[in-house]
Amino acid sequence: MNDGRITLTRRAKQAGLAALAAVTLLGGATWHGLAAVPQATQSKTDRSTTGTTPAVGHAIAAGRDSYADVVKIVAPAVVTIRVEGKAKVSPTEFQEDDFFRRFFGEQFDRRQQPRTPRSFKQRGLGSGVVISNDGYILTNNHVVNGADDIKVDLTDGRTVTAKVIGTDKPSDLALLKVIATDLHALTLGNSDAVQVGDVVLAVGNPLGIGQTVTMGIVSAKGRSTAVGDDRNYEDFLQTDAPINHGNSGGALVNTKGELVGINSQILSNSGENIGIGFAIPANMARHVVDELRANGKVTRARLGVLVQPVTSDIASSLGLKQVNGAIVSEVEPGSAALRAGIRQGDVILSFDGQAVHDTNTLRNRVAETKPGSEAKIVVLRDGSEKTLTVKPEEASAGKVARRGEEPAADDKASLGISVAPLTPDVASRFGVPKNTKGVVIEDVKPDGRAADAGLRAGDVIEQVNRQSVENVEELRTAVRRGADKPLLLLIKREGRNLFVTVRPNA
């Protein structure tokens, strides 16, 4: 029954055309613009003399307002990628039903039949960019993932077979190689120099209709859609240049014809373009390409810290003048960060000479560092800046940098918690790790400001405003002392340390 309500689900989708057993092409409407032509003005005398309709004036001669010259450079370097692979489907649960047995007898009991998986061919479609005249092509990992056969359609009508040189799932990039002559390559531009508001063109093969060029601007930089797991490295350029299924792996270029991004994802309620698209920046792609060409894989570095964004409340608690940087909530034992002297509660302001605006920026900067090389890191500790030297270690599959979790910060009532000393019995009841010090939250008032901040039963409060608390009285004193500003709590939850801010009473 329809109750008249409509629920919109916010989904991030990859722009690649989904792998299908059969490909259906969708046609789009063509927009025709009407040219407005100024009319010449005639006097009454003129009209009476000629007895005709006023003459239409000619458009003023001027330069062409067009990106055609850019497209001529870019278009030959953007190719269509067609992939084919095998997929297996196991027998459905319908075969477990006794429908046939009940109506046709035991000889039709499908439960007695062997459960042999059926296989069929999957086909997919995407785009790619030729980045060197000797045949290297850059595309998305999700375009070629699982493909047994990859064909590349060049703009001059040729179709060639491509070989996978390497793939990198965390960045969603893949490097292919084709053997062909007379290839046109695009130059990788400096994506760090791109500014919000710059005009960009998106080129690819949306919905399989053929190469298409769309125009827009750079809407934002440094975006992270959080699609996938914590091992993904995202630093997207956001654009309103229309991107649709099939554009994945295609080019995002500036008005100089330089490649500034590889189109990768869209954000949409419907699954189709609504003007929010994302491209992997060229500088990240350059690093991945170099690694894949040299080693066939991408090696990244890590610090060994758990970090969180610096919110307005955290900045206020620490006396920061600006809301930026990343606060360290946990330092891993034996990590590069620990050896460098990084401490819990440090706010990382810059890494290797580059400002840290948020946790995603820090994560990507560290990842691009060569493992074992030295880098300078500036932290804010106890109100003063300190410069430390760190040697990031290699991030293996089992050891990856973890994405920081944002602390809840919507406090509006009183604290509203009951706590207890962390005795061995209490620690056992709540599953608190051994050697943990602090007070454990036994209950949270639903309408209290602690509940609004995200605190819950079982959380262990270890610090209040950077001061350790080991019993209930120390907690009360610390809360009373900081009643006029947001409280910065360090808690331990499920074995992990997190900073949480609790706002003062309204």
Which residue, among 428, 481, 432, 424, has the nearest Cα to 461 in the 3D structure?
432
Distance of alpha carbon 438 from alpha carbon 409, whole angstroms? 22
Which residue, among 354, 330, 348, has the nearest Cα to 463 in the 3D structure?
330
Q: Which of 153, 172, 313, 452 is catalytic?
A: 172
Distance of alpha carbon 364 from alpha carbon 438, whole angstroms? 34
Helix, coil or strand: residue 104: helix
Active site residue 172: yes
CB 375 within 8 A of CB 393: no
Distance of alpha carbon 496 from alpha carbon 506, whole angstroms? 30
Q: How many CB atoms lie within 10 A of CB 436?
A: 15
Which residue, among 326, 328, 337, has the nearest Cα to 302 in the 3D structure?
337
Rounded to 5 degrees, what are φ and ψ at 348?
-80, 120
Q: Which of 127, 142, 264, 335 is catalytic?
A: 142
Q: ∠ CA(190), CA(127), CA(130), 5° rounding?
A: 50
Task: State the amino acid at position 170 in one-letter form.
Answer: P
Q: Which of 224, 248, 317, 329 is catalytic?
A: 248
DSSP state at residue 188: B
Which residue, among 374, 309, 403, 389, has the nearest Cα to 347 in the 3D structure?
309
Distance of alpha carbon 393 from alpha carbon 391, whole angstroms? 6
Q: List all residues 6 or more positions away from 469 whose beta carbon is below 8 Å from its beta carbon.
A: 438, 439, 461, 462, 463, 475, 478
CB 503 within 8 A of CB 411: yes
Distance of alpha carbon 257 from alpha carbon 260, whole angstroms? 9
Active site residue 287: no
DSSP state at residue 34: P
Active site residue 184: no
Catalytic residue IDs: 142, 172, 248
